[in-house]
Structure 1
Amino acid sequence: MTRLSVEMLAADAPEPITSAGHAQLGIAVLAGIAVIVLLITKFKLHAFLALTIGSLTLGAIAGAPLDKVLTSFSAGLGTTVAGVGVLIALGAILGKMLADSGGADQIVDTILEKAGGRSMPWAMVLIASVIGLPLFFEVGIVLLIPVVLMVAKRGSYSLMRIGIPALAGLSVMHGLVPPHPGPLVAIDAVGADLGITLALGVLVAVPTVIIAGPVFSKYAARWVDVPAPEKMIPQRASEELDKRPGFGATLFTVLLPVILMLAKALVDIVIDDPENLVQRVFDVIGAPMIALLASVLVGIFTLLRPAGFSKERISPLVEKSLMPIAGILLIVGAGGGFKQTLIDTGVGQMVLDISEDWAIPALLLAWLIAVVIRLATGSATVATVSAAGLVAPLAADMSSTHAALLVLAIGAGSLFFSHVNDAGFWMVKEYFGLSVGQNIKTWSVMETIISVVAGGIVLLLSLVI
C-alpha cells in the first residue's frame, strides 16, 4: 500500500452512520464501554450479551439509526468470525488430536524434562517468539494455549508465570516485526525499507519481550494466582494407546503451519510479483486457514494413526473438539461487532481529526495517534493503518533508519492497553478462564508494558542512530 493508496483509501472510506459531533461521540464511546464492563462485572451477564447491548448503547447515544447500528454490529461479528472463527475451530481440532494421541504429552514431558524451574518462562517466551514470527496472533494463540495450559498443570506452575511470557512473545512479533500485516502496511505507507525495519524491529523486540514476558510474569502471578481452567486443559491421553507419536513427528505437525506461512512471507518478499505462479501457489498454501487445515490433515497420519486411531474414531474426536469453543466464538465475534460499531459511527475519524494539530515530535506523535485509535477501536491493525496514513507525509524528509523507527513507533502504539473492544482480550480471557478484572490486571497491563517499553526504546534509538 503506497502513500497515495493510503490517501485514496481515506477518501473512499464510507460515511459515518451518524452526524454526531466529537463531544457526543466521546460520550457514546465511554457509555458503551461502561455498560459492557458494568453488565459483566456487576450483573454477571454473559460477555456476548454485554457486548451486544454495549454496541446498541453506543449507537443510540451517538444518534445513529438503530437499524444501521445493527447492520454494523452484524457485519463486524460476521467479519471477525470469518477471519478467526475457522482458525479457532481448526486449532481446537489440532489441539484435540495432539491431546488424544499423546502428542501433547510428548511435547509437555520433553519441555518439562529439558527446561524446568526458573528457566520455564524463558523457554515459553522463546518458543512463542519463534512460532509467532510468521503467524497471525490468533493462530499463535490457538496453537500455543494447549501447551501453555498443560505445562502449567503438569509442572505445577502459576498459569500467569507461563502464560504471560507466551502471550508477550506472540504480541510483540505481531505488532513490531514484519511479515505481520500491520508492520507491512506501515512500511509501505511511509516508504520505509523492509530490511532495516525488520532488523530494528528485532532489536526493539528482544528487550521488550523480556520485560513484558518473564519479568512482568513474576508480578502478574502474584496479582492473579489462578490455576489452569480444567475445561480448557487437554486431558492426558489414555494409557491404552498403542504408542505415543514421536517428539519429532509431533513437533513437525505443530510447526507445519508456521513453516508454510513463513515460506509464503519469504516468497512474497523475494519474488514480489502477485502474478508470478510460484508466489500465487505459496499465497494459497501459506494462507492461515490452509496452513492449519494442512496441519490437521497431516496430523491424522503423524499423530492419530501411530496412536492406533481407526477411521471411525476420527469424526467423534473432531465433534468433541468443537463443543468447548462455541462460547469463545460468540464472544470474539461480538467483540468484533462492537469494534465495527465504533468505526462506523466515526470514532476513528474523530480521533484523526482531533490529533491533526498536535505539535510534538514525529515519532511520539505517531505513537500517540496509534494509542488513541487502538483505545477507541480495539484493533491494532486499524490503529496501524490509520496512524501510518496520517503520519506518512512526515517521513518524506527522514533517513531510511528514522523512517523504519516511525513504523515501529506506530506498531508499538497499536498494542497499547487491550480492553473490552478488542477480540484478543476476549480470546485470552476465555482460554485462561479469567474474570474481566483479572484479564485487565494481566493481559491488558502486559500489552501496555509492551507498548510503552517498545515506544521508549524507539525514541532512544532515534537519538543515537
Structure 2
Amino acid sequence: MTVLTILFCIILLVVLVSWAKMNPFLSFLIVSIIAGLLLGIPMNKVTGAVQKGLGDTLGTITIIICLGAMTGKLVATSGAAQKIAEVLVKLFGVKYIQWALVVVGFIVGIPLFYNTGFVLMVPLIFSVVYKYKLPAVYIGLPMLAALSVTHGFLPPHPSPTALVNMFHANMGTTLSYGLILAIPAIILAGPVFATTLKKIPSTPLETFRAEELPADKLPSAFTSFLTALLPVIILMGSAFYLNTDRSTGPVHNFIAFIGDAPIVMLISILVATYSLGIKQGIGMKKLAGLYGDAVKDIAGILLIIGGSGIFKEVLVTSGANNDITAMMQSMQLQPLVLGWLLAAIIRISLGSATVAGLTAAGIVSTMVLHDHTIDPNLMVLSIGAGSLAFSHVNDGGFWMFKEYFNLSIKDTIRSWSVMESIVSVVGLVGVLILNAIIK
C-alpha cells in the first residue's frame, strides 16, 4: 500500500507540473501534504515535517547556489566568457573550431547555471556559424552538450550540490569523479554524434547574433580562466590534499576549512568581485545590482530544491522510506542503476532535470545512507546522469534549442533529445565502470 501511495503521489506531481502547468514548488508542497496524510502522519505533525524538510534542505545549500549564481553572472557580464572563447578559438583554429567551442562550453558551464550558459553561448555559436558559413546544429550541439554535462554532473550546479548534501557525499570527490565522466560523455554526445547532423537544415535567427564587448574592455585571458575555474581548482585541490594527508594538524584543518563548499564559493565570489569587477572599472553599486539579479534568476530553482526536501522528509517522518528501502533491496537491480532509472523515468515524465534528480534522490536517499557498500559520490552522478535522459516537448531546454536554432520538432528530437540521452547513458556506464574500479 505504501508503494502504491507513493506512486500515486509521483503521478500526481507529474500531472500538476506537466499537464496543469502548476509551479513546481507549489506542486511539491501540495503533493507532500497529501502524501503525509495518506501515509498516516497525524494532521498536527504534517506541517512540522514540511517545515523541517524545507529548512534542512535549503539550510545547507543556499549559500553555495546563491554565490555560484553571482559568480556566473559576473563571468558572463564582465566579458570573461567572451575572452575565454576568443583565446580558445585562436588556439584551435577554424579547422577544429567545434572542439574549441566544446572547451568553451565546458569551462564556462562550470560557474554558469544552464539557462544562463545557454543564452550566453548560443549567440557565440551563431557568430561562428555566420562568420565561417558552417552547419549550425553540427557546430552548436557539442558546446551545448558540454553545458548539459556540467549542469547534471558537477557541483556547484543546483541538483548535484543538493544531491551531495542529501547523500552526505564529498563535494570535492564528487566533482573529481564527475570530471572523469564528463570527458567521454561530452565527446560522444558532442563532436562524435554531431557528425551525423551536418545535413539538418537550420537558419539561426538574426536576433540572436552576439553583441560583443570591444577588446579593450575585456579582462585578460589569465584573469578570465582563473576566475571561472577557481571553484574547481580549490575543491579538487583540497579534496586531493585531504585524501592523501591524514594528519589532524593546523595545516590539515585549514585546508579542510577552505575546501568546504560554502567557503570555496565565498572565496571565488570575492576574487571575482575584484578581478572581474573592481579591476575592470565596475563599481560596487553595479556589482550589487548584478548579484541581486543573479539571486532572482535562481530563486525558483531554490524553491524546487526545497520542495523536494519537503517530499523526502514526509517519506522519512511517515516511515515510508523504510518500506521503499526494503523493496529496493529485494529487487535485482544494482542500486546505482536503480537510482539512474528512477531519475530517468521522472525526467521523461516531468521534463525538469532538477526535479527529476531531486525526486529520485529523495526516494533512494535512505537506502544509500544505510547501505555503506553504495558509494554516495557515485550515486550523485548516477542520478545526475539519469536526470538528463531524453529531453522532449515537456522540457524548456528542448524548446529553447528548437526556437534558437529555428528547427522542426522532428529535427529537434533527432538532435537535442538524442544528445541528452547519449549523455545520460554514457554517464551511467561511466559510473558503473568507476564503481568496479573503486571496489
**Aligning the two structures, in what range does the TM-score lie when normalised by the shorter sequence?**
0.5 to 0.7
Alignment of 1:220-239 (within 5 A): none
- Bigger Cα displacement from structure 2, 205-214 vs 316-325: 205-214
Deviations 1:331-356 (A, max 9, x none): 23223322333344334422331244
1:273-305 deviations in whole A, cap 9, x for unaligned?
3x3211111111122222222122112321123
1:52 aligned onto 2:25:
no
Q: Which amino acid aligns with 2:371?
A: L
Partner amino acid, structure 2, of 1:60: L
Letter in 2 for 1:41: S
Q: Does 2:220 correspond to 1:246?
A: yes
Number of residue-to-residue matches in the alignment:
387
| Equivalent residue letter for 1:293 | L
Structure 2 match to 1:270: 244
Deviation at 1:252, TM superposition (A): 1.0
Residue type at the aligned position of 1:324: D
Q: Classify the secondary structure of the residue corresponding to 2:217.
A: coil
Structure 1 residues 229-273: Cα deviation after superposition (integer angstroms, max 9, x where no partner): x9xx9x95766x973211111111112222221221122112123
Q: Does 1:36 align with 2:9?
A: no
Among 147, 152, 159, the residue aligned to 1:166: 147
Label 1:129 to 1:251 Cα distance change in 2 as closer, same or farther (>3 A): closer
Q: State the partner residue of 2:301.
A: 328
Aligned position for 2:425: 449
Distance 2:39 2:386 in 1: 24
**Equivalent residue, structure 1, for 2:45:** 68
Please tell me whether residue 280 in structure 1 is matched to residue 253 in structure 2: yes
CA distance 1:215–1:386, shift in 2 (3 Å): farther
Q: How does 1:310-459 map to 2 (within 5 A)?
A: 310-358=283-331, 365-368=334-337, 370-371=339-340, 378=359, 380=361, 383=364, 386-387=367-368, 389-390=370-371, 392=373, 413-415=382-384, 417-418=386-387, 445=421, 448-450=424-426, 452-454=428-430, 457=433
Report deviation, 1:368.
4.5
Distance 1:253 1:431, change over 3 A: farther
Kept in 2, the 8 Å contact 1:32–1:54? The answer is yes
CA contact (8 A) 2:388 2:424 kept: no
2:127 maps to 1:153: no
Please provide the CA RMSD for this pair: 5.0
Deviations 1:289-324 (A, max 9, x none): 222221221123211233222344333333333333
| Aligned residues of 2:6 and 2:35 also touching (Cα < 8 A) | yes
Identity %: 22
Output the CA distance in 2 between the equivalents of 1:252 and 1:325: 24
Structure 2 stretches lacking a partner, 5+ long: 127-135, 156-162, 347-357, 390-394, 403-411
The residue identity in structure 1 corresponding to 2:266 is: L
Q: Which moved more, 1:73-82 or 1:264-273?
A: 73-82
Residue in structure 2 matched with residue 83 of structure 1 by the alignment: 60
Q: 1:117 to 1:316 in 2, by over 3 A?
A: same
Give the gaps of 5 or more residues in structure 1. Answer: 1-23, 133-139, 175-179, 188-194, 396-405, 421-427
Note closer, same or farther for the CA distance 1:203–1:160 as it changes in structure 2 (3 Å cut): closer
Seen in structure 2, the aligned counterparts of structure 1 residues 202 and 168 have a Cα distance that, compared at 3 Å, is: closer
Provide the residue aligned with 1:305 in structure 2.
278
* Cα separation, 2, equivalents of 1:151 and 1:286: 30
Query: Could you tell me which amino acid in structure 1 is paired with residue 87 of structure 2?
Result: T
Matches within 5 A, 1:131-146: 140=110, 142=112, 146=116
Cα distance in 1, alignment partners of residues 62 and 169 from structure 2: 26
Work out the CA distance in 1 between the residues paired with 2:318 and 2:427.
27
The answer for the alignment partner of 1:399 in structure 2 is: none
What letter matches 2:80 in structure 1?
Answer: G
CA distance in 2, matches of 1:386, 1:295: 34
Moved more, 148-157 or 247-256: 148-157
TM-score (norm 2): 0.67
The aligned residue for residue 70 of structure 2 is: 93
Q: Is 1:160–1:220's contact at 8 Å kept on the other side of the alignment?
A: no
SS at match of 1:166: helix
Aligned partners of 2:318 and 2:197: how far apart in 1? 36
Query: Structure 2 counterpart of 1:314, which letter?
Result: L
